[in-house]
Structure 1
């Protein structure tokens, strides 16, 4: 009886293998729709347009419907990931750290590489070219636009770095505020609504082109900015590139497929890669939590006002 049962079970398994493994679990059995969150920093229509080919590619490769969900700010995507409303999003390092601290439910899938293979970028402070403000010293008593409270280069790092340099943004500048995104902050400077703004750049390539990647490069490519219109008067230390993050509870075979798609994107679909990354680099490396340990600690310190909990 036992032998007969074994042979019957073996026959079922072999039959499943021969038919392409139909009896095995597949992510399509449980994931009927894949939702991609799009971070703020530019207007929603630009976000949707810039990512439409990526959405179409994901849909074709995954074999399930894929939808894009733009948010007005970083917090919207962080909350959506925590609430199981989106499965994947490209996050800045501070937004990733904040979302992970909130729910412990996400993980880094891949991290972008810059042109030299490194995985870091910089925060910069910009002012109007005709403003006469060509140094941080000349920004004293002037107004500064941060990008978003959940942005590393647009708030967390410049705020902490300036304090470490003996500059308290709350007292050094006449006023500070959040512009709602990186693009909006630079536009506010160009329109003289703020004297300065902080944003992000790869720090590599031609400065006259907005570097290889980053908000300035994106604005130059869209015709919203000429680099001759601004001064770059301050630059931070190295900041780890933000990951493409996914929900930890996704099926393993779906995670593997997503990793395969992302790693192949720069070589197999360079135009889509350029749109996703707002410029070009070397590609991606597999993400790891170790890369963001310092950012997570900084977020924790920010939340407690520097007190240990």
Structure 2
């Protein structure tokens, strides 16, 4: 027979545990289906093909159906997240910074992907055609430049910040600036002559958007060369609104962190077999990108 003291202690422990258990159950009742969105760095069909097995993994890991929504552009993902039409999203660090600004820090970065060398981040590089005589940004005066999207880190914000440090005003330096809409389209524009140089994301010699296009027979690596590489950019985070239940945010974080070990095939599919794992990140890791976004805003206001 339990002593009165032990019985009281047991009752108290169960009372304390009940809210935590209840919260874990509650989010599945209020969120019987989750929507995951991704910002396009390639054509929609390529995203759907790579992510379908991972959506099946997330559905099993979280215990609710997870559907994929491919956004039309960076701003669409931010607005869908804020409106509650999307529950979590993969976005570039500049898009995350923009979301943090417009929601007044209402978003939380959960995890990012570590590349094949274990580094957490990537670079912005500037490609020209292999036969082009240009060796630097200075050599491209009067010629046409392909950027990606106004809210792209490697495709706009980081290049503009780097050019500012070099004393280059892009609008004055280049003959024309074209926003291509995606990283793939920027490379295609360069290949077709729409522009003479194109910014793009690049991880390592083995990991880049260009090599992903090569694997899909969309480009030849030998047709292009790099004439500029930025400093390391924080990795693209999986992001949720802070207003989402804490238990849900933690469940999503855990599912991504465990993905490489639990469903290796699905994980390697989304990274083209080149990443090692998802790792947790903090808000402070992206303060540099928030500061950079504010710098870009100031530059735009000066020109207007």
1:50 aligned partner: 50
C-alpha distance in 1 between matches for 2:241 and 2:294: 21
**Which of 248, 253, 276 is matched with 2:247 structurally?**
253
1:22–1:160 distance in 2 versus 1, CA, 3 Å: closer
CA offset at residue 201 of structure 1? 0.5
CA distance in 1, matches of 2:85, 2:242: 13
How far does residue 291 in structure 1 lie from its aligned partner after superposition?
A: 0.8
Segments of structure 1 that go 5 or more residues without pairing to the other structure are none
2:299 matched residue in structure 1: 305
What is the root-mean-square deviation in Å for CA atoms of aligned residues? 2.6
| Cα offset, 1:220, TM superposition | 2.1
Tell me how far 1:26 sits from its aligned partner. 3.2
TM-score by length of 2: 0.87
Give yes or no for the alignment of 1:220 onto 2:221.
Answer: no
Query: Where does residue 172 of structure 1 map in the other structure?
Result: 173
1:125-165: CA deviations, max 9, x gaps?
Answer: 00112333343233221100001100010000001101111
User: Whole-Å Cα distance in 1 between the matches of residues 23 and 140 of structure 2?
Assistant: 66
C-alpha separation in 2, matches of 1:197 and 1:307:
25
The structure with more helix, counted as a fraction of residues: 2
Deviation at 1:23, TM superposition (A): 9.8
2:138 maps to which residue? Answer: 137
- Counterpart of 2:202 in structure 1 is 201
1:110 alignment counterpart: 111
| 1:259-304 superposed Cα distances (whole Å, 9 cap, x missing partner) | 2211122233233223333552232221101111011011122223
State the 1:227 CA deviation: 1.2
What TM-score do you get using the length of structure 1 for normalisation? Answer: 0.86
Q: CA deviation at 1:238?
A: 1.4
**C-alpha displacement of 1:65:** 1.8
Structure 1 residues 171-213: Cα deviation after superposition (integer angstroms, max 9, x where no partner): 11111110001110001111111111000101x2xx3xxx23x
Deviations 1:24-51 (A, max 9, x none): 7432121121000121222222222221
- Return 5+ residue gaps in structure 2 as ranges: none
Q: Secondary structure at the match of 2:269?
A: helix
